[in-house]
Amino acid sequence: MNLPTELIRREPFLWINPSLEIDIDLDTADMEQAKNDWEAFGPLIAELFDGAEIDSALTPLLGFFSDSDAISFLKQDNRLPVAGSIKARGGFFEVLSHARELALQEDLIKPGQPLVALASQQTFFTNYRLDVASTGNLGLSIGLMGRAIGFSVYVHMSADAKQWKKDLLQSRGARVVEYDGDYSLAVTKARAASLAEPRSYFVDDERSLRLFWGYSKAAYDLIRQLPDDITPERPLFVAIPCGVGGAPGGIAYGLKALLGKSAHIFFAEPVESPSVLLGMASGKRDDIKVQDIGLTGKTLADGLAVGRPSGYVCRQMDRVLSGIFTVTDQSLLAMQYRLYREEGIKCEPSACAGLFLPHFIRTEPGQQYLQRHSIKPLNIRYVFWATGGALIPEEKYQDQLAEGKVFLEQQPNMLD
Ligand SMILES: Cc1ncc(COP(=O)(O)O)c(C=O)c1O
């Protein structure tokens, strides 16, 4: 197996996907269906959560990158209403799709009838159970939406999951099952627990199509917010933090389907858990995990602490994804601090990974990529997906900021 040496040596680098088809024509039927379903779910979400709408602001980052005149934006899913992370885009979609399916099966509603009636059917839904495995944020999304609808919810959590996420879930009545192992173990256990319960529905972060298409709707949301002069010559470069691959994969698919060769999508992964990079670069997809090449899979970026990628996502990204870059935990903390200091924006470490894309575009593989696609650096419009953070307890956040400040002072140039 011929893997990039940086991958094995845990050195941050940009991997360019050799199978990219820049002008690919993708089928939009599933994402259009998901968009229509999201519209149908809107009034129900608003009823359950005080008028909430599941989208976030696109915030210009002015002067954040000192030597770059390219225009940059932050897509602020760190403040996504209710669950405070990108994972709600898929998680809410799947819970509500399942709730609607059950309600139709049991004649609680008729086809085409508004779904808002489901907001007061908690007694019906307590008879049904949801199981999900999570490093944290997917669990929060399934737990918060599942409990609001009335489901009994079991969240199976890996050792990386943060205590405050477990506490929040328990305070909403979700059961938290903890494992002293990694995320892949939690998924295996959760799948088995769900199979053993006839009324349980398993939200499968590694394989769920509902999650994937639920995430893809974010592409429509982003395009509505962008300037309308995105062209192949003035393209969009989007960077999304990546764990198992579902959230960034769904969004990447959606953006490529809608923008074609005007969109270039990159994922960002920690140096110790670059699961999708390994799955794609080796061609082995979910037949390989980061531990197989001597990495630990451990990172403080808990949302990205995934050793084995989704095989489905690796396959979908084969011709769609431009590349993947890797980042260290220290640089994530330093970037988290900079975002706070310069923009007053609160993110969790995982959510800051995308902001390193301009740095990697300046490295040799990045420059070759621009040449190959005849792109002038100043014409790039960057979108960094800030994927989570609103719900971090203040005390924990302050501790992370203090650590990040130290790393930034030690290595002020690491973020250029
Ligand atoms: C904050 C944050 N960013 C990014 C991701 C990556 O999403 P995925 O695991 O679907 O690749 C996660 C996953 O939990 C997350 O919590």
pLDDT tens, position by position, 41-72: 999 999 999 999 999 999 999 888 876 667 89
Q: Is 246 in the pocket of ligand 1 (CB under 6 A)?
A: yes
The predicted pLDDT at position 416 comes to 44
**Amino acid in position 273:** S
- Residue 267 CA: which ligand 1 atom is closest? 11
Q: Is 138 in the pocket of ligand 1 (CB under 6 A)?
A: yes
CA of 112 to the centre of ligand 1 (A): 33
- The mean predicted confidence, pLDDT, of the chain is 96
Mutation pick for ligand 1 pocket among 74, 75, 77, 85 (CB with most ligand atoms within 8 Å):
85
CA of 326 to the centre of ligand 1 (A): 15
The predicted pLDDT at position 414 comes to 64
Q: How confident is the model at residue 95 (pLDDT cuts 50, 70, 90)?
A: very high
Least confident of 142-146, 180-184, 294-298, 341-345: 180-184
- Residue 245 CA: which ligand 1 atom is closest? 11
Nearest residue (CA) to ligand 1, atom 13: 303
Q: Is 56 in the pocket of ligand 1 (CB under 6 A)?
A: no
The predicted pLDDT at position 67 comes to 65
Please give the structure tokens belonging to residue 235: 């393209």
Q: How confident is the model at residue 184 (pLDDT cuts 50, 70, 90)?
A: confident
The predicted pLDDT at position 68 comes to 64
Q: For strand 71-76 and strand 14-16, is the pairing parallel, antiparallel, or unpaired?
A: unpaired
What integer is the mean pLDDT of 389-404? 96
What integer is the mean pLDDT of 92-107? 98
pLDDT at residue 99 is higher than 50 = yes
Q: Is 88 in the pocket of ligand 1 (CB under 6 A)?
A: no
- Residue 205 CA: which ligand 1 atom is closest? 10
Closest by CA position to 387, among listed 338, 335, 349: 349
**Structural domains present in the chain:** 10-84+209-415 (3.40.50.1100), 87-203 (3.40.50.1100)
pTM, to two decimals: 0.97
